[in-house]
Structure 1
């Protein structure tokens, strides 16, 4: 009888992940596949010729810096939540919201600069691809901003702390993913425009 119990104790637990985290990871994999397909299509279409060469707006450099600052602020908020420092958590989340919105505003004015340079969505495919890349990323970023605002509100309701980190961990994962995705797209566009 003892042998049966000893055998049962040796059974390993399966790897478990919170269902919402798993869904988030599936979603991010889907987004990666979409952008991989778009960047591949960009390279193929560019090689066919009839490609407008233009400089990327300077605002895209600033927005890259802004999203890096935003990720740093969110990481600060995350570490504050793990230590139950609710003042720093709220401050970090507020800074993240402000810088996330600043990123979106910078992207919008980047589009304005493109229009001023006669680069439009309709016309040459190089401009179309740029608008699709930045617009699709912007849509995902808006969802990220909504998520960050939700976590900020939750932190004011004391629902984010060291004992309840699931939503905060998901927010940090998604936001860092979006920041990394933007850096990838920006570097890709710099090297292939």
Structure 2
């Protein structure tokens, strides 16, 4: 009975936390779960039905994928600095960390394109006898997620820049709780995209 009561209390506490969340945060976490399931399904589907042609993967691992991983890990550090800067009402710091995060996201995307070119140089193509379509599809799906969060980061950066030019807007920006929610959405989703790539990176590393 005591254990059952503890379980009920834990469930009630969990529901209270969910009810206290902003609706946009709830939608974010639901979408993150959905995206994670899509990535998991894609990886498992390939692993289970791995074609015989995939034996050609005993080749060099694309160096650009290694570089992009370090870039993305660095972006996790910069994006984690955004919310603390906002809480200190330091818009210059917010802009700086937003800009650096956006720049690192762009560098990651470029390194992914370079990684695809490396795959092509190894004669791993999207179609044909030596098709590596699954590599392009899985990594491409991740790049689409990165592109989406980068667009959101750019919008927030422009909004922050315009606000910093007006003292009245600055005051409203700093005291508006929804601004913090938007930055929280950016931070959490960016970390999610980072985590997904780390998993994919080690998966790719294993199959190579």
Matches for 1:4-153 after TM superposition, within 5 Å: 14=16, 15-46=19-50, 49-51=52-54, 52-53=56-57, 54-123=59-128, 127-153=132-158
Cα distance, 1:160 vs structure 2 = 5.3
1:82/1:162 contact within 8 Å kept: no
Aligned counterpart, 2:198: 183
Say if 1:105 and 1:162 are closer, same or farther in 2 by CA, change over 3 A.
farther
TM-score relative to the length of structure 2: 0.80
Between the two proteins, the alignment pairs up a number of residues equal to 181
Distance 1:87 1:95 in 2: 12
- Secondary structure, in 3 states, of the residue corresponding to 1:177? helix
Structure 2 residue runs of 5 or longer lacking an equivalent are: 1-12, 164-169
TM-score relative to the length of structure 1: 0.86
Cα distance, 1:115 vs structure 2 = 1.0
1:137/1:182 contact within 8 Å kept: yes
Distance 2:173 2:61 in 1: 40
Cα distance, 1:124 vs structure 2 = 5.1
Say if 1:166 and 1:38 are closer, same or farther in 2 by CA, change over 3 A.
same
Structure 1 residue runs of 5 or longer lacking an equivalent are: 1-11
Higher helix fraction: Structure 1 or Structure 2?
2
Cα distance, 1:91 vs structure 2 = 0.5
Distance 2:173 2:80 in 1: 14
Q: Tell me the C-alpha RMSD between the 2 structures.
A: 2.0
Q: Structure 1 runs of 4+ off > 2 angstroms?
A: 12-16, 123-126, 158-164
Distance 1:107 1:90 in 2: 26
